[in-house]
Amino acid sequence: MSPARSDTRVLVSMKGDLRKDSMIQVKYGQLVRSLHQHLTLAGVYDADLRGLSQVSTALRSIAPVRQVWRERYTKHPAAFKMRSIRASRWIVRQEVDAVLQLGAMFDSRYHQGIVPNVIYTDYTSRLSARHREGNRSPYQDVKLDEWLTLEQQAYVNASHVCVRSETVRQSLVEDYGIEPEKVSVVGGGANLGVLPDAVTRPIGGPPRLLFIGMDFYRKGGDLVLKAFGQARKSLPLSRLIMVTRMPRNHGLPMGNVEVIESGFDREIIRSQFPLADAFVLPSRLETWGDVILEAMAYGIACIGVTGQPMEEIIENGKTGLLVEPENPEALSQAMVQLLSDRTYCRMMGVTGRTHLERNFTWPIVAQRLSKVIETVVAG
């Protein structure tokens, strides 16, 4: 029996339109629906910029490459301030007990100190700046400092901060000076809605390795190709399926590699999981590991790297393998270890599915968040 829903009225604030943006729906839709099972959802507010404020900020952040321009626009200090003004002015007019702010792209208490808020975020800008090879930190020097100051103030103003990983909790405490007792690790859920039925893969046939990452370089696609080229010396019949945007003229080994350029087609992505024996993601910057959770939901053993939040998802030697970052040789050895013993690989996948069911579903995360929000409201 589901627990009775609390009368606590909560407004969810975010950057993005939950109704129209498919990527936002995938990332946060299940969380919002699960949260409504515990608390009274008063609405979802989109703090993104519109009209003249959007145009003016875009003009301040022009860059020759569209992707860079988008990152500069999104993370311009002026955009942070304007989103904060929009959100805080809206919130103060609502009859709600608390705000759950998704992400730290604005400050829900910028112009109001009345309604308590809980921030739920998966990463910090300081971590992004520290891992510049991930191309998630578009500014340096003055503008980065301005953004970090605004972000820090948002955390200070928040009643509590919830994060997905211990990596991010440590950053908030050490990089932003937030009191340890004000930060809680609540994890994140698999973006699949209803979890799929367990898949039993045949032991026979060529072993199949799966990589999914639209940002080829940041997700470590080049490392996967180098490592797989070495792994084929031991497993010449093995196949690698890559769902990605493959760069031209990359000069990397492509033997037994199939590339699927699906964009963000969720059906194509989901269709690949039941066919795979193992999943690999040696990201250079991974804020959490959503796609790893999806692979685990299908009972697939995963290969990841240390030094990223994903090492808090993958249990090394139990649900998958973790290797050093930027190490194609170690990555190749992990591929061979799993693909050459598919009974062992399958056992890891089954353990991973159980691990996910116990720790990383949105209903579980929503319950953790709800407890924090209720505590904040109670004072």
Say if residue 343 is in the same domain as residue 365: no
Number of domains in the chain: 2
Residues 173 and 213 in one domain: no
Give the pLDDT score at 42: 95
Is the residue at 242 inside a domain?
A: yes
**Residues 152/115/24/79 CA torsion (nearest 10 deg):** -50
- 327 belongs to a structural domain: yes
Place of tokens 């994890």: 187
Q: What is the pLDDT of residues 101-117, one digit of tens each?
A: 999 999 999 987 789 99
Both 41 and 123 in one domain: the answer is: yes
The reported pLDDT for the residue numbered 134 is 67
pLDDT for residue 198: 75
> Is residue 278 situated within a structural domain?
yes
Contact assessment for residue 55 and residue 41, using Cβ atoms and an 8 Å cutoff: no
Structure confidence by residue, pLDDT tens digits, 335-355: 999 999 999 999 999 999 999
In a domain, 253, yes or no: yes
Mean pLDDT of 23-37: 94
- pLDDT number for residue 202: 72
Residue pLDDT, tens place only, 209-242 = 999 999 999 999 999 999 999 999 999 999 999 9
Inter-residue contact 274 to 34 (CB < 8 Å): no
Least confident of 67-76, 128-137, 146-155, 222-231: 128-137
d(CA 373, CA 351): 32
Lowest mean pLDDT among 6-10, 109-113, 205-209, 262-266: 262-266
The pLDDT of residue 204 is above 90: no
Of residues 4 and 174, more confidently modeled: 174
- Whether 198 maps to a domain, the answer reads no
Residues 324 and 365 in one domain: no
Which helix (H) or strand (E) covers residue 107, if one does?
A: none
Same domain membership, residue 252 and residue 307: yes
- Average of pLDDT values for 323-345? 96
Same-domain status, 151 and 125: yes
- In angstroms, rounded to a whole number, what is the distance separating the alpha carbons of residues 193 and 240? 27
CA angle 24, 30, 31 (to 5 degrees): 90
- Residue with the larger pLDDT of the pair 65 and 181: 181
Buried b (16+ CB within 10 A) or exposed e, 174-212: ebbebeeeebbebbbbbbbeeebeeeebeeeeebbbbbb
Same structural domain, 119 and 178: yes
CATH number at residue 24: 3.40.50.2000
**Whether residues 170 and 238 fall in one domain:** no
Sign of CA dihedral 128, 134, 137, 139: positive
Instruction: Determine the pLDDT at residue 266.
Output: 86
Specify whether 318 is located in the same domain as 334: yes
Looking at the structure, do residues 55 and 145 belong to the same domain, yes or no? yes
Based on the fold, state whether residues 30 and 114 are members of the same structural domain. Answer: yes
Whether 201 maps to a domain, the answer reads no
Asked whether residue 197 is assigned to any structural domain, the reply reads no
Residue 122 has pLDDT above 90, yes or no: yes
Q: In this structure, is residue 1 part of a structural domain?
A: no
Distance CA 309, CA 185 (A): 12
| pLDDT value for 15 | 96
Q: Provide the residue range defining the domain that includes 218.
A: 208-359
User: Which residues make beta-bridge pairs with 99?
Assistant: 11, 117
How high does pLDDT run on average in the chain?
Answer: 93
DSSP conformation class of 212 = E
pLDDT of 347: 95
- Considering the domain architecture, whether residues 373 and 331 belong to the same structural domain is answered as no
pLDDT mean over 53-77: 88
